[in-house]
Amino acid sequence: MNKKAGILGVGSYLPNKIVDNFYFEKIMDTSDEWIKTRTGISERRMVDENETTSDLSTKAALNAIKCANLTPQDIDLIIVATATPDMAFPSTACIVQENIGATHAAAFDISVACSGFIYGITIAKQFVETEMYKNILVIGAEALSRAVDYNDRSTAILFGDGAGAVVIGNVDEGGILSTYLGSDGKGKDVLTLPVGDSIKMSGSDVYKFAVRIMGEASLKALQMANLDATEIDCLIPHQANIRIIEASAKRLKLDMDKVYVNLNKYGNMSAASIPVALDEAYRQGKINKGDNVVLVGFGGGLTWGASVINWSIQGGKNE
Ligand code: ACO
């Protein structure tokens, strides 16, 4: 019988510095009221001047490896999804490999903007199920505060920094039941981060696309897993805007108490949003063994992805 891939451990790390909406009131023409009403964001985390994406990744990775009861020596492959790598090369994944001492691991980065974590777990699933690798670290990490233009009020207020990670390996029960990925290069100009520049975005185009694709992608992944929306125990959406999340939940006819939201605290952390939310939901006891968890995201490219996971690990709340 084929090996089934699932999540063995999950972890995250957020920088200590908290930047609230009132900071932006001081530096641009905006207000706490506007930001909260239009986006749902109250504050976000920001790296300090010496902190990098690989630093955040390293801490999240060690937390996920510990949660999986493994050591860095057990890791065979490291995948980092990021739009804000420390450098074009070496990859952030190679830096993490050295930092944690994962001397047996191959390592590479992927560039899929906010959908990167779902692409990452999809790649990991293939390697585990073909038995090429046993334990794979997938990290979503961003230092987006370095990539925003503090003169552009329509984007600067949206983004934050952080990292989340999972270890993917063989599970006896449950596992990653399905993953669905999509891309549309015709939308390449809607959301961009040119090399050496800052994020540019046509907010309303991204908004319309996001509301449509979050529901569609979730339903597609559910269909691939032979489940329907009534069987979702927890939805972990990409954390871009509370209005996008609420509209997506409505399309899935899902109560908001089954949807995990933390963008009020962290803003949009691109590839880090989903794994950080997953880690928090697990630790708060909102995800338990046997639950059907749907991850869904969208981002620059345009890209999107969704995955249905039947949760395999105990614990969380009491850890
Ligand atoms: N403070 C005050 N006013 C503002 C601000 C601000 N920070 N930003 C924009 N405004 C103004 C605009 O200038 C506009 O003024 P005008 O009517 O005089 O021209 C007005 O507010 C309304 O602007 P809209 O763009 O229509 O506002 P909207 O309600 O659409 O909200 C937002 C904008 C929050 C950006 C929304 O469109 C959105 O969330 N879009 C999706 C963004 C997203 O998901 N991005 C992440 C993609 S993931 C990735 O890959 C990085």
The yes-or-no verdict on residue 319 having pLDDT over 50 is no
Ligand 1 mean position, distance from CA 51 (Å):
29
Pocket mutation for ligand 1, best pick of 19, 33, 38 (most atoms within 8 Å of C-beta):
38
Residue with tokens 């270890």: 167
In terms of domains, do 137 and 258 share one?
no
Distance of CA 204 from the midpoint of ligand 1 (Å)? 7
Given this model, what pLDDT does residue 147 score?
97
Q: 30 CB under 6 A from ligand 1?
A: yes
The answer on 158 and 52 residing in a single domain is yes
160 and 184 both lie in a single domain: no
Domains held by the chain: number: 2
Question: 310, 294, 275: which is closest to 64 by C-alpha?
Answer: 275
Q: Is the CB of 147 under 6 A from ligand 1?
A: no
Say if 193 falls within a structural domain: yes
pLDDT score of 314: 83
Q: Is the CB of 191 within 6 Å of ligand 1?
A: yes
Measured in Å, residue 154 CA sits from the centre of ligand 1 at: 5
What's the 136 CA to ligand 1 centre distance in angstroms? 37
Domain membership of residue 234 as a residue range: 175-310
Same domain, 125 and 237: no
Helix, strand, coil percentages, rounded to 5, for the chain: 40, 25, 35
In this predicted structure, what is the pLDDT of residue 145? 97
CA of 41 to the centre of ligand 1 (A): 12
Tell whether 219 and 250 lie within a shared domain: yes
> Tens of pLDDT along 125-137?
999 999 999 999 9
Is residue 78 domain-shared with residue 194, that is, in the same domain?
Answer: no
pLDDT tens, 56-99? Answer: 999 999 999 999 999 999 999 999 999 999 999 999 999 999 99
Active site residues: 114, 238, 268
Please tell me the predicted confidence (pLDDT) of residue 318: 41
Pair (302, 268) in one structural domain: yes
CB 75 within 8 A of CB 264: no
Which of 170, 201, 230 is a domain's end point? 170
Query: Residue 218 is part of a domain; what is its CATH number?
Result: 3.40.47.10
Residue 112 belongs to a domain = yes
Q: Are residues 155 and 40 in the same domain?
A: yes
In this structure, the answer to whether residues 217 and 147 fall within a common structural domain is no
Q: Is the CB of 299 under 6 A from ligand 1?
A: yes
Q: Whose Cα sits closest to atom 33 in ligand 1?
A: 203
Question: Mean of the pLDDT values across residues 137-160?
Answer: 97
In a domain, 316, yes or no: no
What is residue 308's predicted lDDT score, i.e. its pLDDT?
A: 98
Nearest to 83 by CA among 121, 46, 117, 123: 117
Answer yes or no: do 31 and 52 share one domain.
yes
pLDDT one-digit tens code per residue, 229-249: 999 999 999 999 999 999 999
Residue 157 and residue 265 in one domain: no
Q: Residue with the nearest Cα to atom 26 of ligand 1? A: 204
Determine which residue's CA is closest to atom 31 belonging to ligand 1: 38
Question: Which among 119, 153, 170 is the end of a domain?
Answer: 170
Residue labelled with tokens 């990991």: 124
In a domain, 105, yes or no: yes
150 within some domain: yes
**pLDDT digits 0-9 by tens, 155-197:** 999 999 999 999 999 999 999 999 999 999 999 999 999 999 9
274 lines ligand 1 (CB under 6 A): no
Residue where a domain terminates, one of 119, 145, 170: 170
CB of 34 within 6 A of ligand 1: the answer is yes
* pLDDT band at residue 102 under the 50/70/90 scheme: very high
Q: Is-contact 318 232, C-beta < 8 A?
A: no
**Section 8-19 average pLDDT:** 98
Q: How far is CA 130 from CA 133, 305, 306, in A?
A: 8, 21, 21
As a whole number, mean pLDDT of residues 39-57 equals 97
Residue 315 lies in a domain: no
Identify the residue whose C-alpha is closest to ligand 1 atom 14: 154
Q: Count CB atoms within 10 A of the CB of residue 33.
A: 10
Q: Is residue 319 part of a domain?
A: no
> How does pLDDT run across 262-297, given as a tens digit for each residue?
999 999 999 999 999 999 999 999 999 999 999 999
CA of 254 relative to ligand 1 center, distance in Å? 26
**182 and 84, same structural domain?**
no
Mean pLDDT of 26-38: 96
What average pLDDT is seen over the chain? 96
Residues 271, 208: Cα–Cα separation, whole Å: 20
Vertex 312: Cα angle to 311 and 316 (nearest 5): 80
* 304 part of a folded domain: yes
pLDDT in tens, 203-225: 999 999 999 999 999 999 999 99
